[in-house]
Amino acid sequence: MSKPQFREIDSSVGKTAKFLKRSSFALLLTLAAIVIIAAALIVLLTSCATGPTVQIIDAETAMQIIEDEPNAVILDVRTVQEYNEGHIPEAVLMHYGASEAIVLDTLPNKDVPILIYCRSGRRSAEAAQRLLDLGYQRVYDFGGIIDWPYQIVVPE
């Protein structure tokens, strides 16, 4: 009777080994699928984030762009009252919450550099992001006029 017991044990070990081989293979396939899906998601998410971004610059860089790019638009996104208290020469006034129609009418060319400022930087950041969302390509935020060391025009 001892021989049948060994056969049962051999048979049981063989079945367990086959089961483990199949389970390991299934586990490897599952892990490979997870890795492939994760890689595809990473590629998809990074490809969506490759559009233009707001470029945060300082006053000196803004002045350099103004001097180098004759078509650059200097955009003041403060209130009319703030603008009348003093603004950068040749700045165009447009409220930072202006409608899309006003933005498109005021800034018809989406490919020229647009340099945006406000008083301290909060409104210019919001306006800059909004311009990107509307398809403008070269958007620069140089913060607030309080940090502008160059000429300011005060209307009389």
Catalytic positions are 118
Q: Compute the distance between CA of residue 127 and CA of residue 150 in angstroms, rounded to an integer.
A: 22
The burial of 132, by beta-carbon neighbours within 10 Å (0-12 exposed, 13-18 middle, 19 or more buried), is given as: middle
Phi, psi at 75, each rounded to 5°: -110, 120
- With beta carbons less than 8 A apart as the criterion, state whether 100 and 25 touch: no
Residue 52 corresponds to which tokens in the numbers above? 């233009």
Ramachandran region, residue 86 (left: φ > 0; alpha: ψ -120 to 50; beta: rest): left
